[in-house]
Amino acid sequence: MNLKENTILITGGGSGIGRGLAEAFHKQGNRVIIAGRRRDVLERTASANPGMGTVVLDTTEPESISAAAKEVIRKYANLNVVVNNAGVQYLHDFASDRPLNEAGMLAEIDTNIVGIIRFTSAFLPHLKSKPAASIINISSGLAFLPMARFPIYCATKAFVHSFSMSLRHQIKRTSVRVIELAPPWVATDLDAHQGVTTTHEGMSPMPIPDFIAAAMQDLSTDAEELPVAGAKFLYSAGVSDRAAATFEQIHQ
């Protein structure tokens, strides 16, 4: 995709991968609007990046999405890129006798699946009106080969991959491209808040600056499925005959 002269809306843009992408696009001279639930987080990020816009929204609430879409389209008529980045992750152990974490399960499904569907639907008519537009869906290397300790999260990311493929096919005759960006394990607070530091010996998360540099390089191409860095291995393994064996070897 063209990395310059865009107007870009990024959900979950106040921290982690969302903030990293927002700042990288901002430095390229794009008009960037970051969206999220926490106004203070958004404002801190915008203050550190003069000219960056903010919009408070909750992707689990349809009314919030609808109101935000109207506000953003009114204020930023040139909007032509939407990045579905907001996501949550929780541990679930079905081998234990503990009750299911219902709140965590519903949050993962509502944010990682339903939120993307609603958000895409809310902005797609506007994007179709632009001569060149993109929807960038953030999935994960775990969409292709899951990590057992995060069974619901991985399944939601597999949904993002599948949904991106179908959406791309349905709107292929429009001006809107659908790009899937699949990160590897990146050092964000997604895992940290659960006390997750390493999954197995010899593995460590990719620093955010390194991931963002690699992601921006990949986004500058014409490819539509973009597994980044270590996610390339998971992407390949997940569609090969080695998948079952690999799952047992690296996802104990």
User: Which positions are annotated as active-site residues?
Assistant: 153
End-to-end CA distance of the chain: 37
Can you list the positions of beta strands (E) in the chain?
Answer: 7-11, 31-36, 53-56, 81-84, 133-138, 176-182, 225-227
The token pair at 205 is: 């998360």
Output the DSSP codes for 94-111: TTSSSPP-HHHHHHHHII
The tokens describing 194, both together, are 């659960």
Residue 9, classed as helix, strand or coil, is strand
Q: Is the dihedral of CA 123, 127, 129, 130 positive or negative?
A: positive
Give the single-character DSSP code of 222. Answer: S
C-alpha span between 27 and 34 (Å, rounded): 14
Residue 61: Cβ within 10 Å count: 15
